[in-house]
Structures are given as C-alpha cells and as structure tokens.
Amino acid sequence: MGCRKIRHGSGQRAISGKDFRLADEIRYIQRRAAAYDECFVTVGPLALFSTDTGDAWLLDPADHLAARVARAGDPEPIHFEETEANFAIGWKGNYNIDGAAFVYIDRDSAHVVTILGYPTARIAELG
C-alpha cells in the first residue's frame, strides 16, 4: 500500500512497528518527492511527508524536530544510524506550525524559513 496522487488531498501510508526500517521510509518519501507526489507517512513517533513541489521532510512531532530529506525533487543528505531495536537521527533543526505556515529554524545557522502549502493541519494533529 503506498501513497497516490490525490487532487484535493494527500495520500497516507501506515506502517506497523515491526515492519519499520528508517532507511526504507526515508528513501520512500524521497522517491515520492522526486515524483512531485503528495504523501504523508507516520511511523511510530515519526512523520514523513512529501509535497507536490518536490520537498520532503522527516519530523519528530513530540519534540518539534525536523530534517529536510528532499528539496525540489532532489534528495538531501541526512545522518542517521539504525539497528534492529533503535535509531538515531541527526536532526537539522526545529519546526513550528503557525496557522497555514510551516516555520523551520536551522540549528547551525539559526536561519528561519516560513513555507506555505505544506500539510500543516495534519502535522499539527500529531503534536
């Protein structure tokens, strides 16, 4: 079961914990972004989404952590480590939802980016 392009909404994909591999999910959402396909995936405590603009993000809604994994259809590098029981992610920044705006704050540069058109209502439901 995968995401599919829907004219007035986004696809969804649910994955059970035992079937979860972070590397696979990151590659999956990067492929959706490369296809400019809207997709929203939740896996345990994490959420991943891609947009029709080719962007994709990995989020930890509990702590408002974020890492962009694709931009304009091109994959972005992300550092993570994964074992059978655990994973660690090199989060690049934090995010907030301000109405319809996705606000990202880069940890290294403190640069703030405000993006409209992301699935902010869906993201807000998770936090």
Annotated domain spans of the chain: 11-94
What pLDDT does residue 3 have?
Answer: 61
| Helix, coil or strand: residue 17 | helix
pLDDT in tens, 58-104: 999 999 999 999 999 999 999 988 887 778 899 999 999 999 999 99
CA-based nearest residue to 41, from 14, 64, 20, 19: 14
Residue 8 — pLDDT band, cuts 50, 70, 90?
very low
pLDDT in tens, 17-34: 455 688 999 999 999 999
Query: In this structure, are residues 82 and 21 in contact, taking their beta carbons and an 8 Å threshold?
Result: yes
Predicted TM-score of the model (pTM): 0.84
* pLDDT above 70 for 9: no
